[in-house]
């Protein structure tokens, strides 16, 4: 017997599968329903951690409540890695929800199959054409929509979009895949599916719709009109903090529960889902398992994108510069904590419309607790990725709204300056880090060239029209304040800049 009380841990390790399910420790929750009796009703694009901690968990609850026709088939657009990890375990995977003193492991069964493009393109299309598939859901991250982040329009210069336009029957992008699936389904005489976007975009359904309609227009204007008139793209607000899975997480599950899971997901216990109720072919009764079905998601989405994601990005850029590794550590830092409180109170909450049934101040107080959760090691470097896509909805739109109201949003100024400092690729300990962003090459070149000169660095970054809209740049007080703060970050460092900011 080992000190942990588990006899011979390595010998007891079971690779997760339908066969090993009955042998798992009894504290591990698992599907209580007959998976063999469940048929797919949803095709999901994007197999990353988030959908497996969110959509699939809500849907697992629906299946446990007795539904049998809402299983999910997941399709990865970018890589076969998750498919190849999940298939040998019958697409079962575990969700490790972590909180001090409250860790819980649950095996989720709602993902019936996993596919990857381009290998499984034919099977993905035949599923998307099947009348039994009534919803296509998406978690492909902000950049998956191939949009110009400042305007929300399709980025027609994106090389992957150009490739899909040249070869629409073998698409690799989200607009390309959706357009071709809709075309094939229509040709087969099957009523259109609903497209349910579950990414952190402003007005996510409307954004996806605009992009797909434009993409289709470039190939076949008549199909584009059909999409505009016939496809429902309800908006959603999705929320569950789900960091990228690390080997330590796999090891914790193996050591704690005797389960070998090639690709588990780790997340916080909290989850929230607000969905616009617009599903012409029907939907699972997600409201029975905690989702909120509403007419208008917009107020919820603004609250979440700004207060949660905006605070995340602010903490991330300041922390990466200062060498602070996780959100929990950042939120535990008195100065950064005070910055986030000012961000919420002065720059974000005043920009929000009333949110039905929600006290936004209580919402931010709960966010503070969620950020402080030590069980969830959410890396600031991970959150700093894709800033060119994330800054506009999270921080630049509320900045514009404050400026229009006559106020200079000081905490957003600090966040934008910290993002600019981030493009230098080197932290205050002189350690370099990776800049992951669809514009990485351009950002890195600007950062490396001008890292010693705030005026030039800010000037070149502000000139990127895909990120900074002209209305915002029209406020010279905003630009000057960002440049001044950037100068302080570059010459004095994060800590003295925070002290000055906090007065």
Contact residues: ligand CS2, CB under 6 A: 200, 239-241, 308-309, 312, 382-383, 390
- The gap from C-alpha 244 to its chain's centroid, in whole angstroms, comes to 11
Nearer to ligand CS2, 185 or 240 (CB): 240
Helix (H, G, I), strand (E, B) or coil at 276: strand
User: What does R_g of the chain's alpha carbons equal in angstroms?
Assistant: 23
Per the CB < 8 A criterion, the answer to whether 286 and 58 are in contact is yes
- In sequence order, the 6+-apart residues with CB closer than 8 A to the CB of 189 are none
The phi, psi pair for 322, rounded to 5°, reads -85, -5
Residue 501 host element (H or E): helix 494-502
CB of 142 to ligand CS2, least distance (A): 8
Q: Are 164 and 218 in contact (CB under 8 A)?
A: no
Cβ–Cβ under 8 Å, residues 286 and 275? yes
Peptide bond into 265 cis (omega under 30): no
Nearest distance from C-beta of residue 439 to ligand CS2, angstroms:
16
- Record the tokens describing residue 149, joined without a space: 């982040």
Compute the least distance from the CB of residue 371 to ligand CS2, in Å.
10
Q: Looking at beta carbons only, is 33 or 433 nearer to ligand CS2?
A: 433
Residue whose C-beta lies closest to ligand CS2: 312
Nearest alpha carbon to residue 195 among 138, 245, 151, 237: 138
Select 208 or 213, whichever has its Cβ closest to ligand CS2.
208
For the chain, how long is the longest CA-to-CA vector?
A: 70
**Shortest reach from residue 159's CB to ligand CS2, in Å:** 24
Ordered strands of the 194-197 beta sheet: 111-116, 71-76, 40-45, 135-138, 194-197
Q: Which CB, 183 or 312, lies closer to ligand CS2? A: 312
Which token pair is 479?
A: 């630009």
Q: Is 370 left (phi over 0), alpha (psi -120 to 50) or beta?
A: alpha
68 vs 382, beta carbon nearer ligand CS2: 382
- Tell me how far apart the alpha carbons of residues 238 and 205 are, in angstroms, rounded to a whole number: 12
| Nearest approach, Cβ of residue 217 and ligand CS2 (Å) | 31
Strands 265-267 and 93-97: parallel
Name the packing angle between helices 311-322 and 410-422 (round to 10°).
Answer: 50
Closest contact distance (angstroms) between CB of 283 and ligand CS2 is 21
Q: Which residues contact residue 160 at a Cβ distance below 8 angstroms, ignoring those fewer than 6 apart?
A: 146, 172, 173, 176
Minimum distance of ligand CS2 from residue 477's CB (angstroms):
28
Q: What minimum distance in Å lies between the beta carbon of 30 and ligand CS2?
A: 25
SS3 of 195, please? strand
Task: Please tell me the total number of residues recorded for the chain in this structure.
Answer: 503
Q: Report yes or no: 307 and 394 within 8 Å, Cβ to Cβ.
A: no
User: 250 or 304, CB closer to ligand CS2?
Assistant: 304
Q: How far is the CB of 312 from ligand CS2 (least distance, A)?
A: 4
Q: What DSSP string runs through 337-385?
A: HHHHHHIIIIIIGGGPPP-TT--HHHHHHHHHHHHH-TTS--BHHHHTT
Least distance between ligand CS2 and beta carbon 242 (Å): 7
Q: Which is nearer to ligand CS2, 390 or 421 (CB)?
A: 390
Minimum distance between the CB of residue 177 and ligand CS2, rounded to whole angstroms?
Answer: 23
Residue (367 or 413) nearer to ligand CS2, CB: 367
Query: Nearer to ligand CS2 by C-beta: 214 or 312?
Result: 312
């Amino acid at each position: 017997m080992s000190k942990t009380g588990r006899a011979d841990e390595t010998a007891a390790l079971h690779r997760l599968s339908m066969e090993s399910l009955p042998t798992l420790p009894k504290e591990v929750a698992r599907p209580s329903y007959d998976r063999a009796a469940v048929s797919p009703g949803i095709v999901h694009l994007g197999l990353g951690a988030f959908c497996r901690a969110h959509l699939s968990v809500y849907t697992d609850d629906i299946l446990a409540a007795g539904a049998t026709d809402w299983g999910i088939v997941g399709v990865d657009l970018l890589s076969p890695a998750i498919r190849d990890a999940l298939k040998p375990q019958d697409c079962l995977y575990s969700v490790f929800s972590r909180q001090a003193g409250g860790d819980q492991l649950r095996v989720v069964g709602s993902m019936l199959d996993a596919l990857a493009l381009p290998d499984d393109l034919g099977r993905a299309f035949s599923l998307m054409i099947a009348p039994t598939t009534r919803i296509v859901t998406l978690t492909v991250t902000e950049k998956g929509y191939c949009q110009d982040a400042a305007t929300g329009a399709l980025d027609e210069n994106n090389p992957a979009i150009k490739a899909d336009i040249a070869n629409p029957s073998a698409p690799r992008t989200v607009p390309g895949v959706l357009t071709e699936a809709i075309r094939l389904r229509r040709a087969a005489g099957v009523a259109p599916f609903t497209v349910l976007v579950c990414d952190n975009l402003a007005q996510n359904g409307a954004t996806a719709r605009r992009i797909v309609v434009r993409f289709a227009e470039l190939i076949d204007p008549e199909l584009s009109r059909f999409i505009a008139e016939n496809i429902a793209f309800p908006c959603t607000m999705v929320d569950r903090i789900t960091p990228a899975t690390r080997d330590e997480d796999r090891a914790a599950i193996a050591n704690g529960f005797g389960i070998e899971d090639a690709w588990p997901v780790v997340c916080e216990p909290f989850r929230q889902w607000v969905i616009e109720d617009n599903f012409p072919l029907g939907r699972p009764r997600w409201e029975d398992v905690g989702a909120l079905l509403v007419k208008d998601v917009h107020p919820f989405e603004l609250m979440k994108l700004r207060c949660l994601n905006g605070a995340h990005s602010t903490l991330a850029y300041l922390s990466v510069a200062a060498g602070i590794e996780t959100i929990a550590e950042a939120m535990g830092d008195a100065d950064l904590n005070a910055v986030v409180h000012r961000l919420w109170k002065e720059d974000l909450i005043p920009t929000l419309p009333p949110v039905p049934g929600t006290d936004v101040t209580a919402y931010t107080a709960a966010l503070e607790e969620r950020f402080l959760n030590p069980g969830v090691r959410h890396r600031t470097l991970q959150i700093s990725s894709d800033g060119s896509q994330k800054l506009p909805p999270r921080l630049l739109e509320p900045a514009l709204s404050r400026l229009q109201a006559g106020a200079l949003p000081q905490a957003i100024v600090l966040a934008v300056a910290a993002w600019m400092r981030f493009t230098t690729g080197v932290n205050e300990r002189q350690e370099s880090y990776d800049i992951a962003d669809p514009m990485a090459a351009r950002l890195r070149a600007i950062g490396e060239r001008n890292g010693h000169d705030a005026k030039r660095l800010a000037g070149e970054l502000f000139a990127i029209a895909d990120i900074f809209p002209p209305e915002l740049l029209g406020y010279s007080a905003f630009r000057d304040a960002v440049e001044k703060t950037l100068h302080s970050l570059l010459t004095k460092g994060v800590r003295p800049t925070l002290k000055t900011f906090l007065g």
